[in-house]
Amino acid sequence: MILRQKNIRSVMVILGLVAGVFILVQCMNNAGKETEQTVNFDAYAGSEKCMSCHKDAYDKHLKTAHFLTGQPATANFITGSFKKDSNSYYYSPDILVQMQKRDSGLYQVIYYKGEEKWPYVKILLSVPG
Protein backbone atom coordinates (compact mmCIF):
# COMPACT_ATOMS: atom_id res chain seq x y z
CA MET A 1 0.00 0.00 0.00
CA ILE A 2 2.80 2.42 0.94
CA LEU A 3 4.63 1.42 -2.22
CA ARG A 4 1.56 2.23 -4.36
CA GLN A 5 1.15 5.68 -2.79
CA LYS A 6 4.84 6.41 -3.47
CA ASN A 7 4.37 5.36 -7.09
CA ILE A 8 1.35 7.62 -7.48
CA ARG A 9 3.30 10.54 -5.98
CA SER A 10 6.23 9.85 -8.35
CA VAL A 11 3.91 9.78 -11.33
CA MET A 12 2.32 13.08 -10.19
CA VAL A 13 5.75 14.71 -9.77
CA ILE A 14 6.87 13.52 -13.19
CA LEU A 15 3.62 14.75 -14.79
CA GLY A 16 4.08 18.08 -13.03
CA LEU A 17 7.64 18.38 -14.32
CA VAL A 18 6.61 17.48 -17.87
CA ALA A 19 3.80 20.04 -17.75
CA GLY A 20 6.19 22.65 -16.33
CA VAL A 21 8.78 22.03 -19.05
CA PHE A 22 6.05 22.13 -21.71
CA ILE A 23 4.74 25.50 -20.47
CA LEU A 24 8.29 26.90 -20.24
CA VAL A 25 9.12 25.81 -23.80
CA GLN A 26 5.90 27.39 -25.05
CA CYS A 27 6.87 30.66 -23.38
CA MET A 28 10.35 30.53 -24.89
CA ASN A 29 8.98 29.75 -28.36
CA ASN A 30 6.71 32.80 -28.23
CA ALA A 31 9.36 35.13 -26.80
CA GLY A 32 10.47 37.72 -29.36
CA LYS A 33 7.79 36.75 -31.87
CA GLU A 34 5.80 39.66 -33.15
CA THR A 35 2.12 39.26 -32.68
CA GLU A 36 0.07 40.06 -35.72
CA GLN A 37 -2.42 42.83 -35.24
CA THR A 38 -4.89 44.11 -37.74
CA VAL A 39 -5.04 47.87 -37.77
CA ASN A 40 -8.39 49.08 -38.87
CA PHE A 41 -8.45 52.46 -40.59
CA ASP A 42 -11.71 53.27 -38.78
CA ALA A 43 -9.68 53.43 -35.56
CA TYR A 44 -7.54 56.26 -37.02
CA ALA A 45 -8.64 59.48 -35.37
CA GLY A 46 -7.39 61.76 -38.16
CA SER A 47 -5.75 65.10 -37.54
CA GLU A 48 -9.04 67.03 -37.86
CA LYS A 49 -10.04 65.57 -34.49
CA CYS A 50 -7.10 67.35 -32.85
CA MET A 51 -7.82 70.70 -34.49
CA SER A 52 -10.47 71.91 -32.02
CA CYS A 53 -7.96 71.97 -29.14
CA HIS A 54 -4.60 72.20 -30.95
CA LYS A 55 -5.32 74.76 -33.70
CA ASP A 56 -1.72 76.10 -33.95
CA ALA A 57 -0.17 72.61 -34.09
CA TYR A 58 -2.78 71.56 -36.66
CA ASP A 59 -2.13 74.57 -38.94
CA LYS A 60 1.66 73.98 -38.81
CA HIS A 61 1.16 70.26 -39.44
CA LEU A 62 -0.63 70.99 -42.75
CA LYS A 63 2.57 72.55 -44.11
CA THR A 64 4.95 69.76 -43.11
CA ALA A 65 6.51 67.32 -45.59
CA HIS A 66 5.12 64.52 -43.45
CA PHE A 67 1.55 65.64 -44.05
CA LEU A 68 2.09 66.40 -47.75
CA THR A 69 3.78 63.10 -48.63
CA GLY A 70 0.83 61.22 -47.19
CA GLN A 71 -1.63 62.93 -49.53
CA PRO A 72 -2.85 61.84 -52.96
CA ALA A 73 -0.61 63.12 -55.76
CA THR A 74 -3.09 65.66 -57.06
CA ALA A 75 -2.28 69.14 -58.30
CA ASN A 76 -3.25 70.79 -55.01
CA PHE A 77 -0.76 68.65 -53.03
CA ILE A 78 2.19 68.44 -55.44
CA THR A 79 4.47 71.30 -54.46
CA GLY A 80 6.57 71.11 -57.64
CA SER A 81 5.69 73.46 -60.48
CA PHE A 82 4.09 72.40 -63.75
CA LYS A 83 4.70 75.84 -65.35
CA LYS A 84 6.90 75.71 -68.44
CA ASP A 85 9.58 78.06 -67.12
CA SER A 86 9.97 76.38 -63.73
CA ASN A 87 9.16 72.68 -64.20
CA SER A 88 12.60 71.36 -65.18
CA TYR A 89 15.62 70.03 -63.35
CA TYR A 90 18.88 68.92 -64.96
CA TYR A 91 20.61 66.11 -63.05
CA SER A 92 23.44 66.40 -65.58
CA PRO A 93 23.68 68.10 -69.01
CA ASP A 94 22.13 64.91 -70.50
CA ILE A 95 19.50 64.07 -67.91
CA LEU A 96 16.49 66.29 -67.52
CA VAL A 97 13.43 65.72 -65.35
CA GLN A 98 10.33 67.70 -66.12
CA MET A 99 7.00 68.01 -64.34
CA GLN A 100 4.26 67.85 -66.96
CA LYS A 101 0.52 68.20 -66.94
CA ARG A 102 -0.88 66.09 -69.78
CA ASP A 103 -4.44 65.08 -70.71
CA SER A 104 -3.80 61.61 -69.25
CA GLY A 105 -2.49 62.90 -65.91
CA LEU A 106 0.37 64.55 -64.06
CA TYR A 107 3.84 63.22 -64.85
CA GLN A 108 7.50 63.42 -64.02
CA VAL A 109 9.09 62.87 -67.41
CA ILE A 110 12.73 61.87 -67.67
CA TYR A 111 14.66 62.90 -70.79
CA TYR A 112 18.02 61.48 -71.73
CA LYS A 113 19.87 63.59 -74.31
CA GLY A 114 16.64 65.36 -75.14
CA GLU A 115 14.51 62.27 -75.70
CA GLU A 116 12.10 60.24 -73.59
CA LYS A 117 14.34 57.23 -73.81
CA TRP A 118 14.81 55.59 -70.46
CA PRO A 119 12.93 52.54 -69.30
CA TYR A 120 11.19 54.75 -66.77
CA VAL A 121 10.28 57.44 -69.22
CA LYS A 122 7.23 58.68 -67.45
CA ILE A 123 6.19 58.39 -63.85
CA LEU A 124 2.48 58.86 -63.59
CA LEU A 125 1.86 61.03 -60.57
CA SER A 126 -1.90 61.05 -60.82
CA VAL A 127 -4.78 60.48 -63.16
CA PRO A 128 -7.12 63.43 -63.56
CA GLY A 129 -10.11 62.86 -61.34
Site residues for ligand HEC per CB under 6 A: 45, 49-50, 52-54
Q: Which is nearer to ligand HEC, 50 or 95 (CB)?
A: 50
- β 95-102/88-90 pair status: antiparallel
Q: How far is the CB of 40 from ligand HEC (least distance, A)?
A: 16
Sheet holding 95-102, edge to edge: 88-90, 95-102, 105-112, 122-126
Q: How far is the CB of 47 from ligand HEC (least distance, A)?
A: 7
Q: Which is nearer to ligand HEC, 44 or 120 (CB)?
A: 44
Rg over CA atoms, the chain: 32
- CB-CB neighbours of 71 under 10 Å: 11
Q: How far is the CB of 63 from ligand HEC (least distance, A)?
A: 17
